[in-house]
Homo-oligomer: A and B are copies of this chain.
Amino acid sequence: MPLIAVNFKAYPESMGDSGLHLARLCESVGEERGLSFIVCPQQPDLRFIAENVRIPVFAQHVDAYEPGSRTGHVVPEAVKASGARGTLINHSEHRVQIFGIDWLVEKCGSLNLDTIVCTNNISVSKACAALNPTYVAVEPPELIGGDISVTTANPEIVSGTVEAIKRIAPQVKVLCGAGVKTGEDVRVAIELGTEGVLLASGVVKAKDPKKALYELVKEV
C-alpha cells in the first residue's frame, strides 16, 4: 500500500481551517481507496489538526534541542505531545546540520516518532540512510514546485537512491518527491522501488484539491 505524504508548507491554502479541511480530504480519499496518507500541517495547527483526523499527522520541521529555555523552537517532545506521529527533517526549504539530523533521528526514535529525512541527491541519500531514519525522501530541489515530476525528469535519482540505500541500510524506506502530481507519477515511483511519494503544491495549490487527490491515487 503506497504512502502519500502531503506537505502543507506555508501556503495560504493550508492554514488553519483550510488546513483542517485539506487534512480531512486526505483522510476520506485514503479511507475510500485503501491508501496511506500522512499530512504535514503548518506548525501552529499541529495539535489542532492531529486532534481532528484519524490519519497520521507529521510536523514539517523539528528543532534539535532538548526541552527547556528554547523560545520559539519546536522540540521533538512538543511534536509528540501534539499528537503527531512523526516529522519531516531537513526539507530543502529548512535545511539542518548533519549533527542535528543525527541527533533528531535518534531522539525521535526514542519517542516513537517516525522520521522522514529529505535529501537532494543519491550521495546525500546514502549519507542520511547511514543515520537510520524511518524514511529517506529524495527530492531534487530544482524540480520542487515545478510541473515535471522527478519520476519523469530524473528517474535515475530515484532508482539510484533505492539501490544505494538497500546496500547501506536496507531497513530504511524510500520516498520520492518534487513535481509529483499525477497517478502515473505515483505508480512509477512505486515501480522504481519507493514506498510512496512526498508532495505539496500538486495537491495544496490545486484548483480542486479533492480532484487532485483522486487523480493522484487513480493508478494505485
A contact residues vs B (CB 8 Å cutoff)? 7, 9-12, 15-17, 42-48, 51, 59-61, 65, 67-75, 77-79, 81-84, 88, 90-102, 119-121, 123-124, 126-128, 130-132, 144-145, 168, 200-201
Contacts and interface: CB of A to CB of B under 8 A. Distances in A.
A70 B127 contact: no
Contact of A93 (B47, B70, B83): B70
Contacts of A73: 10, 61, 93-94
Oligomer: number of copies: 4
Contact of A10 (B15, B75, B96, B130): B75
B123 A130 contact: yes
A144 B15 contact: no
Nearest to A49: B47
A144 B69 contact: yes
Contact of A47 (B48, B71, B130): B48
